[in-house]
Amino acid sequence: MDYLLTEEQKMIKDLARKIAVEKVLPARAELDEKGEFPWELMRILAEADLCGLYIEDKYGGFGGGALEFCLATEEISRICGGVGVTYAASALGSYPIVLFGTEEQKKKYLPDIASGKKLGAFGLTEANAGSDAAGIETTAKKDGDHYILNGTKQWITNGGEAETYVVIAMTDRKKGARGASAFIVEKGTPGFTFGKKENKMGIRCSATRELVFQDCKIPKENLLGKEGMGFIVAMKTLDCTRPGIGAQAVGIAQGALDEAVKYSRERVQFGQTISSIQAVQHMLADMATQVEAGRALLVTARLKNRGESEEEDGRKQCILVSFAMSFIGITSCIQMQSSHH
């Protein structure tokens, strides 16, 4: 389906696809096996100007929105989910600055993200705060012109590799979700170190790591928005970036379908390729239908592009879509695996 993409959006999709096939495909197996961060591939994506699709052109970006970033994420993830999530998480880490940054913060941080010189990361999750994001325990205490951060974030994509982190911490724990604030923390700040790196079963070239803050002193200028707005910063950021996780799932599902179709045309049983057996054709058709349905749901990313971010319905739709597409992606992977075994 065409999805009424503009010429520019089609070019973004084609460019991402070309890089994925020519550069990511030959490297993916080794990167995954070694759990090696895909720096060289990120450099290639940056050189192709794909790192700042959602960043305003005055800060060096393309000036698009969630849809452009989703189109590229899908094509990269179609070939490698690990590279796809590495790419998408940099957007997750910098979208809070796009949405809530002051002019100074945008000028300071966005050009390096847009050019791909630096990667972003987003630190919300903690050992005791996953779905229940308001349960975070990391604290940020005001101390004159600074805030002092203490606590540990876990499972942070691009952790250790990114230079620019947006971290959610409690400035007033008594207020619950209304007591959270968002901060920009630069790699190399004293008191900010990296803990355990996860040895994952999949998407292994993506770095998933702990962020550790021990009396980490950051200037008050690094507060994003106002004190107490941290939960809003996090939720509005996720509204824009959750479709990116959906795009990753659709890409992985499409990649699984591509492999399944290819295999069914090679594998010969009973004197014919299994692709000519009607029961197999039904399975492939079901997969293709689900993948296309998932892709159609990415229309929410287009809603974000049109600035309908205030719509509560849109927000619910985004959440639903990312869950639905993650499910579709996982189902297709399982189907593909079982067709290989």
Ligand X SMILES: Cc1cc2nc3c(=O)[nH]c(=O)nc-3n(C[C@H](O)[C@H](O)[C@H](O)COP(=O)(O)OP(=O)(O)OC[C@H]3O[C@@H](n4cnc5c(N)ncnc54)[C@H](O)[C@@H]3O)c2cc1C
Determine how many CB atoms are found less than 10 A away from the CB of residue 293: 13
Residues of this chain that bind ligand X (CB under 6 A): 89, 122-125, 130-131, 155-157, 208
CB of 200 to ligand X, least distance (A): 6
User: CB 246 → ligand X: shortest distance, Å?
Assistant: 14
Copy the structure tokens of residue 68: 């452009």
SS3 129: strand
Q: Which is nearer to ligand X, 12 or 233 (CB)?
A: 233
Find the shortest distance in angstroms from Cβ 292 to ligand X: 26
Beta bridge partners of 169: 181
53 vs 124, which CB is nearer to ligand X?
Answer: 124
Question: What is the closest distance, in whole angstroms, from the C-beta atom of residue 118 to ligand X in the complex?
Answer: 16
Name residues whose C-beta falls within 8 Å of residue 98's C-beta, 6 or more positions apart in sequence: 54, 55, 56, 106, 110
Which residue, 52 or 244, has its beta carbon nearer to ligand X? 244
| Residue number closest to ligand X, CB atom | 130
Per DSSP, the three-state class of 197 is: strand
> Taking the chain, what is the end-to-end CA distance rounded to the nearest angstrom?
32
Angle between helices 66-79 and 230-266 (to 10 degrees): 40
Smallest separation, CB 280 to ligand X (Å): 32
By beta-carbon proximity to ligand X, the closer residue of 3 and 323 is 323
Instruction: Compare residues 156 and 184 and give the one whose CB is closer to ligand X.
Output: 156
Pick the closer one to ligand X by CB: 46 or 91. 91
- CB count within 10 Å of CB 133 equals 18
CB of 192 to ligand X, least distance (A): 16
- Is the Cβ of residue 276 or residue 331 nearer to ligand X in the bound state? 331
> What is the maximum alpha-carbon separation in the chain?
79
286: part of which helix (H) or strand (E)?
helix 278-297
Residue 211 contacts residue 186 (beta carbons within 8 Å): no
**Least distance between ligand X and beta carbon 93 (Å):** 7
- Distance (Å) of CA 58 to CA 46, 63, 289: 17, 8, 40
Q: Which is nearer to ligand X, 131 or 278 (CB)?
A: 131
Nearest to 87 by CA among 233, 258, 205: 205
Closest approach, Cβ 206 to ligand X, in A, equals: 7
Residue burial 134-147, b: 16+ Cβ < 10 Å; e: rest: eebebbbeeeeebb
